[in-house]
A and B are shown apart, each in its own frame.
Chain A
Amino acid sequence: MWRRSRGKVLTWGRGNSGQLGHGDMDCLLSPKIVMSLESYCITQVSAGWSHSGFVSDEGCVFTCGDGSFGQLGHGDYRSHCSPVKVSFFVNKHVEQIACGMRHSLVLLKDGSGNLLYGFGSGKRGQLGISIDRIKSVNAPEIIRGFDDVQIITITANADHNAALSADGELYTWGRGFGATSDFLSPQQSPSSLKFSKVALGWNHALVLSDNGEVFMLGGCHHGMLSNPEITTLSKHLSDGAVLERVPGLDGIKVVDIAAGAEHSAIVTEEGVIKIWGWGEHGQLGLGSSRDESSPKTVSLGVEVERKNGTVRVYCGSGYTYAISTFCS
């Protein structure tokens, strides 16, 4: 999904659950404006496995796509192929929505502080709403554990979530990373570092510290999915519970991070993209389908690299987008 600067939304890709929001269940090879949201100024979007979320500048949130796990938050298990307003939040101001595989998170801006809600599948604790595993809920329920904490950003992928506070603290919950067990409620990272960005894959999390360093939680599959012997060995080496600095980035200041299902990407202060992890589908952009266990530089071509501008990176499940914005 792509949000244009004037608040319009374009969607494309797999659409057989109605997640593209065009009123049908067709897949699209190129971006198309979501017409039913044209009268709104959309400020934030999120693409889950087979459902999507859209937030407007006035604090409304819309969802569409597969609803069979309650992940659309409308109080039932119906699917929709056009965005439908989540009525639960009608008198509240929504800031962000994060869509995972079969669940969603919503962050509210509230007079007394920010509030977090979850709905959809909760079998891995990804809803963070109970001490027990919950099969699913189809209407938003508040996520406890953030008393006196101001959450400013949320992200979800697969069956887990991450949140960052205004003080730079990292919280994660849901399916564990690596060999750790699932967390049924938000856990604060014990690290004393301040973090500014977090990205989630299916088995790992990437976090960017205030001083431009990148750390990883989990990620035992990185660079090793194609080599089963090494994967088995790596599981014994690390239980994935500890934040580990990503090797090969010493002395490099990182300004952007992104995570696909099983690969990771960063952008340095110099505008250089480095990437590593699963490569079978060419998602590393290195010209081969080999996995890489440590960051490698991606070449965007001489024409792009010569121009002044900014580079950003985004990862889908098995693909990567690099966006270059040139200064005129």
Chain B
Amino acid sequence: MSYDDVEIEDMQWNEELQAYTYPCPCGDLFQITKEELKIGEEIACCPSCSLYITVIYNAEDFADKKSNNNLEPPKRQPWTLLETFRMANGKLVL
């Protein structure tokens, strides 16, 4: 059973762990990554014990091609590079 329900805005982004974290009663941190949130995962586990929490969040905020303050800048898409080559002299340049 989930130890607690925690809103995503109450979790802290941990740069070293690359995950949203929240204190676990054992002294470690409940953790959930952006990738997990993207696919709709809502369980944040503690690496040191059996406890886990349920993360409350708006799935749309973590869907692909959306950004918020905590996300990395979106990676450049391959089509952007192709378009740059095309624009060099009107035709595809390799």
Contacts and interface: CB of A to CB of B under 8 A. Distances in A.
A226 B48 CA distance: 14
Interface of B: 1, 3, 10, 12, 23, 25-27, 48-51
Given A68-B12, A280-B50, A317 B27 contact: yes
B12 A262 contact: no
A306 B52 CA distance: 42
A261 B25 contact: yes
Contacts of B50: 226, 280
**Interface majority SS on A: helix, strand, loop or mixed?**
loop
B27 A14 contact: yes
A319 B10 contact: no
B9 to A, nearest CB: 9
A261 B1 contact: no
Contacts of A319: 27
A228 interface: yes
B23 A49 contact: yes
Contact of B26 (A68, A232, A281): A281
- Which 3 residue pairs of A and B lie closest in terms of their CB atoms, listed nearest first? A261-B25, A228-B1, A318-B26
B10 A123 contact: yes
A180 to B, nearest CB: 15
A318 B25 contact: yes
Contact of A280 (B12, B23, B49): B49
A177 interface: no
A232 B1 contact: yes
A317 B1 contact: no
A101 interface: yes
A202 interface: yes
Given A202-B25, A261-B26, A317-B26, A281 B49 contact: yes
A281 B50 CA distance: 10
